[in-house]
Chain A
Amino acid sequence: EDQVTQSPEALRLQEGESSSLNCSYTVSGLRGLFWYRQDPGKGPEFLFTLYSAGEEKEKERLKATLTKKESFLHITAPKPEDSATYLCAVQGGYNFNKFYFGSGTKLNVKP
């Protein structure tokens, strides 16, 4: 069964305390893995697309990496404004266009 699992469900960090979020998937025929940021009451904001194992993407304090079974979103020296829910999605499987979303990791960065 095609599935995307994110961990942890919630993460509390002190400002400046680096950490990583995990996204593991079992979708066959991966076309792409996507990371989004979602603030309360808003739609998801696109962050990264990763296409193949070994690929890495960076944006400010965020760095996304991909292996054959999972992806990590590394947050370096986070700030309170990084607090949000981070969603991972995978495109693949039998339905060419469909995204399989994880349940998200809610990140809270304390000043």
Chain B
Amino acid sequence: GAVVSQHPSWVICKSGTSVKIECRSLDFQATTMFWYRQFPKQSLMLMATSNEGSKATYEQGVEKDKFLINHASLTLSTLTVTSAHPEDSSFYICSAVPRTSGRIEQFFGPGTRLTVL
């Protein structure tokens, strides 16, 4: 149980284009989903917290107009990197917290490798 998927698993795009990454909780409903970014040999950096039906909360220094987050349902959140540039190349990982009462663990997706040329 507690499986989270991401799509695509990797994507290569040209500079200036937009890329959408999907995060789905497959066997549970999620009250909250999170988006992280991870650079090589570094830990996870929280980008934003997303609650179903409300606006995402972005961490300091993360441009909300560049990283658009839509939490459309209790099982789906999307991250759109708008006008991507090479410096946006990174490993993006989502996580979800089960709606089940008392659960506080985050369950992570497999990640999406974004390369911007």
Q: Are B44 and A101 in contact (CB under 8 A)?
A: yes
Q: Give Cα distance in the complex from A103 to B38, angstroms.
A: 11
Count how many pairs of residues, one from A and one from B, have CB atoms less than 8 Å apart in the complex: 49
For residue A7, give the distance in angstroms from its CB to the closest CB of chain B.
14
Chain B residues bordering chain A, tally (CB within 8 A): 23
Q: Give Cα distance in the complex from A46 to B95, angstroms.
A: 11
For residue B111, give the distance in angstroms from its CB to the closest CB of chain A.
5
Chain A residues lying within 8 Å of B42, measured Cβ to Cβ, are 103
Q: Is B25 an interface residue (CB 8 A)?
A: no
Query: Given A103-B43, A104-B43, A43 and B93 touching (CB < 8 A)?
Result: yes
Q: Is A69 an interface residue (CB 8 A)?
A: no
What are 16 sample pairs from A and B whose C-beta atoms fall under 8 A apart? A31-B104, A34-B106, A41-B91, A41-B113, A43-B4, A46-B2, A46-B107, A97-B32, A97-B34, A97-B49, A98-B46, A98-B49, A101-B44, A102-B43, A103-B42, A104-B43
